[in-house]
Amino acid sequence: MKLPPHFYCRSDVLTISRELLGKLLCTRHAGHECKVLITETEAYAGIGDRASHAYGGRRTARTEVMYGEGGLAYVYLCYGIHHLFNVVTNVAGIPHAVLIRAALPYSGLATLQKRRGRDEAGPNLMPGPGTVAQALGITTVMSGVSLHGAEVWIEDAGVDVPSAQILAGPRIGVDYAGEDARLPYRYVWSSAFAEAVRPCRADTA
């Protein structure tokens, strides 16, 4: 079940960020369909958030996607090497986004592993935002693509993630953001609980 448009268009990016835990991020790329269980997210709260690319209302060719309607993919290149995948939220004109920071394999394991160049099947296959995008075949050319299409989308796995299993803390790698670097906008679904939910890892994509 793909998440409906109104899921993304709500105004509270923190709520959306929490609710994305336990959802499935899916891609169909080069003929391979893969799904991963989202275990870690970070919220970027728009023009007032010093950690956001849209801080101060900055509008550039890169960040323009964030000003679009909720439900778009925002992908950009970080450190010249890594493609980072974000979900645009809120209504058009308000540049909120949620960074997907980590995930567990759910289906298409063989393809995920091949793209990563690693044999891991657990939390070490996609332990960071760059690795999640790499495993799913996500690159900057997907930036601006709708999550209601057939290339990249997010599904409800029918999993309930109790708030007691969610840890909140400061975001990673945003020391430049001054005071805002301390905001508890990072959400982690403890992988012990996440592991228990996913299907058998023997998967022959």
Name the residues that contact DNA, by CB under 7 A. 42, 44, 51-54, 58, 60-63, 66, 74, 76-82, 84, 86, 97, 99, 116, 118, 127-132, 140, 171-174, 176
Letter string b/e over residues 117-129, b meaning 16 or more CB atoms within 10 A of that residue's CB = eeeeeebebbbeb
Residue 137 beta carbon to DNA: minimum distance, rounded to whole angstroms:
15
Report how far residue 204's alpha carbon sits from residue 197's, in angstroms, rounded to the nearest whole number.
19
CB-neighbour burial class of residue 181 (10 A; exposed 0-12, middle 13-18, buried 19+): middle
Q: Are 96 and 46 in contact (CB under 8 A)?
A: yes
Tokens encoding 52:
């956001």
* Cα 104 → chain centroid: 12
CA distances from 2 to 90, 131, 137, 153 (A): 18, 23, 19, 7
Closer residue to DNA in complex, CB, 133/161 = 133
Based on its alpha-carbon atoms, the radius of gyration of the chain, rounded to whole angstroms, reads 16
Report how far residue 108's alpha carbon sits from residue 118's, in angstroms, rounded to the nearest whole number.
14
Closer residue to DNA in complex, CB, 173/199 = 173
Report how far residue 183's alpha carbon sits from residue 5's, in angstroms, rounded to the nearest whole number.
27
